[in-house]
Amino acid sequence: MAHELPPLPYAYEALESTIDKQTMTLHHDMHHGAYVKNLNAALEKYPNLAGKSAEDLVRDLNAVPEEIRAAVRNNAGGHVNHTMFWKIMKPQGGGDPTGPIADAIHKTFGSFKDFQAKFNDAGVKQFGSGWAWLAGKPNGEVQVMSTPNQDNPLAQGLYPIFGNDVWEHAYYLKYNNRRPEYLAAWWNVVNWDEINHRYAAFKAGK
């Protein structure tokens, strides 16, 4: 079963005015679409990997033949990251976190504001392309981190609770070179319900 591009769970213009329609269209159809296409192309010669989810591929890259390891790292990573990204955003999102993720944030960072500052700082300081994350550790605690390119915390034994895409393709049309402005505005479209689902899956060890 080949990997498939999941449909965007809302209209392309639904996240206006935080993220514009053209950015969403290009980002989902072209960029995410290309990761899926390139992942399937890389796996073509290795039917024994066809049953593995993109998450499983990313979690254990050493199990992937060296010939296609870099392609799988980038494109399975891109597929996993963007599949999460569309779902952890929604129209009329944002506001203060709720539920268990709010408790984890307050316990770890003191306040939502302090957490946002730390997360945005990780996004600003990620040189070049990459992601800022809230990741779950094996001991059940959470941490802010960033990864380059399409690397995912799964490859380090960590759980990707949620992340923000700081590749220029995610913001350049609207925000140009003003990455900090994009990072600050992005909280307006965050879907805390979905993030709570992901946090619950992390706590359940899934």
Residue ranges in contact with Mn ion by CB under 5 A: 165, 167
**Whose Cβ is closer to Mn ion: residue 31's or residue 203's?**
31
**Whose Cβ is closer to Mn ion: residue 167's or residue 175's?**
167
Alpha carbon distances (Å) from 137 to 7, 14, 20, 179 = 30, 33, 34, 27
Residue whose C-beta lies closest to Mn ion: 165
Q: Is 130 exposed, middle or buried (0-12, 13-18, 19+ CB in 10 A)?
A: buried
**Helix, strand or coil, per DSSP, at residue 198:** helix
**Whose Cβ is closer to Mn ion: residue 83's or residue 196's?**
83
What's the order of all strands across the beta sheet hosting 159-165? 142-148, 130-136, 159-165
**Whose Cβ is closer to Mn ion: residue 74's or residue 188's?**
74
Distance in angstroms (rounded) separating the CA atoms of residues 133 and 81: 11
Q: Closest distance between Mn ion and the C-beta of residue 126, in Å? A: 13
